[in-house]
Each structure stands twice: as C-alpha cells, then as structure tokens.
Amino acid sequence: MHSPRASHHRCSLEELERDRRPDPPDDATRLVVTAHALRRRPIGELTVEDLRLLIRQDVGLSYLLPMALEVLRDNPMAEGHMYAGDLLCAVITRSPAVWDGSAELRHELQVIVSGLVDVLPTFVQRDVERFRTATC
C-alpha cells in the first residue's frame, strides 16, 4: 500500500494545489515557460535542477521543500545546473516566514547545515548564516 506522501509523487503541482494556470504568453521568458511546464510534471519526476528552479521562484514550497530536504539529507551539496550546493542555497534563502509554518522542516534544515560550515564556499556560508540568524 502506498503512503499518501508517495502518492503525491505521481501528481503535478497543478493537481496538488488545484491550480491550473493558463499557458504563458508567447513573449514569456524562458524561466516563466520552464516553471509553468514543471508545474505540470509529476513532482516525483522533478530533478535537483527542477527543484532548485521552482523553489527559487517560491513555487509549490509546501510540496517541494520536503522533497528538497530529502535530497539534502543525503547530499547537502546537491547540484542542479549552477554550482555545488545550489539546491541548499535555494532552500535556505526562502523567506523566514516559510519556516514559521513548519518547525519540523526548519529544524531538519538546521541540522543539515550545522555540520557544513567548514566545507562551504564563502557565498554559501553567508546564506547559511542568514538562515541561522533568521530562524533561531
């Protein structure tokens, strides 16, 4: 029997959020077109890069942040198409208000970043410190 969480992986953000948006206009940016297409893909098929892109745009956070934390738990420096740790940066730079509704996820992320300070590039360390300051 599938858990409810596993069954979510077969659904798209449009289905989960019950929010089907019209196709973007012809002059839409590549980012808008890509994000729109990713909202229609089953979330279980999203790559690290897809998660990074959508999370940076604050899209589907209630579904995608738990998935991102699963990835980061195994590999805190998971990389999309930008640089090692780009998924972590996407996650930790969300508004502090995002974490207000999920103390469990916030705590899990705090645990993940707690052991990383010495191995992170300087610009990632700055984001981690901002996250720590904002969520403590």
The 10s digit of each residue's pLDDT in 79-96 is: 888 888 899 999 999 988
- Better-predicted residue by pLDDT, 48 or 2: 48
**Over 80: is that where the pLDDT of 65 sits?**
yes
**Over 80: is that where the pLDDT of 117 sits?**
no
Average pLDDT, rounded, for the chain: 86
* Spatial CA neighbour of 92 closest among 73, 71, 69: 69
Amino acid at 83: Y
Amino acid at 128: V
Instruction: Report pTM.
Output: 0.84
Phi, psi of 66 (to 5 degrees): -60, -35
Mean of pLDDT values over 63-69: 95
**Domain ranges for the chain:** 4-133
